[in-house]
């Protein structure tokens, strides 16, 4: 058996190792998530030093090791230098990298995840300097697409309780819908109130046994039942959990959420700055719930957007 293998991968995480090496976490098309040592890259005269940077896409030749594999050759295919030159872009890119590492599998091809992440990093790279809240819009768009690939995207087109479609109503003052992470997405407030009053959603609070769902497992970190799909495991429900209404959404916020499933972000990405802050918070809570761990880069997102000038009050016209 060959002691070397080739892979095309994007660097998602880097940490110092020893005196001159780096330990890289790499998302590859062919083998999923791998960890490999980049030897000597912290030396000034290293031939592959620049190729070990974050979000650099390389064609790699890797030697197998007893505990850690070692990169012996690297040829850069693509890099995104602008991501490291803008704090907002860097924070958004690290956020997406964390999501990818949460859902990527090892020793299995992850082609779709690789291309999806690469595409959204490219879009962030191409944003003009000082894009401000446009970065946040693109982050939300990418996060929704990653959730969709994992099979856990929130329901935003219909009520999660009744399956009736939801259409934003800009003609009615103070029109709102609810969002419940534990219910799986948006909910009609009347349906939510009726269900709460009659206890019709009590069945969803019962424990779900592994035998009730085919191809399932219990996620040890969260106690959730999960179903194997695509690139990872899809959470079905939390055991013994009461459904909670997390927040209420206005017509503009629901419209933005519903646009996130599109392949390209529409022109409204540059509008409704305050609403994009709300959308990111909603998606962040949803991501952390389903992946069972915090998004550490979210603290940098909070810090960055708190430092920006407060957006002007906007007229939420129909979009």
Query: Tens of pLDDT along 79-109?
Result: 999 999 999 999 999 999 999 999 999 999 9
CB contact at 8 A, 49 and 39:
no
Give the confidence band of 259 by pLDDT, cuts at 50, 70, 90: very high
Question: Is the pLDDT at 70 greater than 90, yes or no?
Answer: yes
Query: Tens of pLDDT along 270-315?
Result: 666 778 999 999 999 999 999 999 999 999 999 998 888 765 444 4
| DSSP line for 164-189 | -B----SSSTT--EEEETTTTEEE-H
Judge residue 239's burial from the number of C-beta atoms within 10 Å of its C-beta, 0-12 exposed, 13-18 middle, 19 or more buried: middle
Looking at every residue in the chain, the average pLDDT score rounds to: 85
Q: What pLDDT is stored for residue 130 in this prediction? A: 77
Residue 92 belongs to what H/E stretch?
Answer: helix 87-103
Given the structure tokens 């534990």, which residue do they identify? 182
* Mean pLDDT confidence for 41-53: 91
Judge residue 279's burial from the number of C-beta atoms within 10 Å of its C-beta, 0-12 exposed, 13-18 middle, 19 or more buried: buried
Cα–Cα distance for residue pair 36/71, rounded to 1 Å: 6
Q: What pLDDT is stored for residue 226 in this prediction? A: 38
* Mean pLDDT confidence for 230-255: 71
Question: Is the pLDDT at 75 greater than 90, yes or no?
Answer: yes
Question: Is the pLDDT at 215 greater than 80, yes or no?
Answer: no
CB contact at 8 A, 170 and 251:
yes
Determine the longest span between alpha carbons in the chain, in angstroms.
Answer: 71
Query: Tens of pLDDT along 122-132?
Result: 999 999 987 88
Return phi, psi of residue 210, to 5°. -55, -30
Q: Output the six-digit token pair for 319.
A: 């979009």
Q: Output the six-digit token pair for 229.
A: 């799909």
Give the confidence band of 217 by pLDDT, cuts at 50, 70, 90: very low
CB 305: neighbour CB atoms within 10 A? 19
């Amino acid at each position: 058996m060959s002691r070397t293998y080739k892979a095309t991968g994007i660097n998602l995480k880097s940490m110092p190792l020893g005196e001159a090496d780096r330990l890289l976490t790499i998302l590859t098309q062919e083998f999923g998530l791998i960890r490999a040592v980049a030897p000597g890259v912290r030396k000034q005269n290293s031939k592959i030093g620049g190729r070990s940077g974050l979000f650099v896409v390389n064609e790699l030749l890797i030697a197998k090791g007893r505990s850690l594999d070692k990169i012996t050759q690297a040829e850069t295919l693509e890099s995104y230098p602008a991501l490291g030159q803008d704090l907002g872009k860097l924070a958004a890119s690290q956020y997406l990298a964390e999501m990818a590492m949460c859902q990527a599998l090892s020793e299995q091809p992850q082609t779709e995840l690789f291309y999806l992440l690469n595409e959204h990093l490219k879009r962030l790279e191409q944003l003009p300097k000082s894009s401000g809240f446009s970065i946040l819009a693109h982050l939300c768009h990418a996060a929704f697409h990653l959730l969709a690939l994992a099979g856990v995207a929130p329901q935003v087109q219909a009520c999660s309780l009744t399956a009736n479609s939801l259409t934003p109503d800009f003609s009615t003052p103070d029109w709102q819908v609810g969002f419940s992470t534990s219910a799986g997405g948006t909910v009609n407030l009347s349906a939510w109130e009726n269900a709460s009053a009659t206890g019709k959603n009590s069945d969803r609070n019962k424990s779900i046994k592994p035998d009730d769902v085919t191809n399932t497992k219990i996620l040890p970190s969260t106690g959730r039942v999960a179903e194997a799909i695509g690139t990872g495991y899809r959470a079905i429900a939390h055991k013994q959990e009461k459904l909670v209404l997390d927040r209420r959404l206005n017509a503009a916020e629901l419209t933005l959420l519903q646009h996130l499933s599109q392949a390209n972000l529409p022109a409204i990405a540059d509008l409704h700055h305050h609403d994009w802050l709300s959308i990111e918070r909603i998606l962040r809570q949803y991501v952390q719930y389903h992946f069972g761990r915090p998004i550490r880069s979210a603290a940098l997102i909070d810090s960055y957007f708190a430092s920006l000038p407060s957006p002007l009050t906007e007229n939420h016209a129909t979009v």
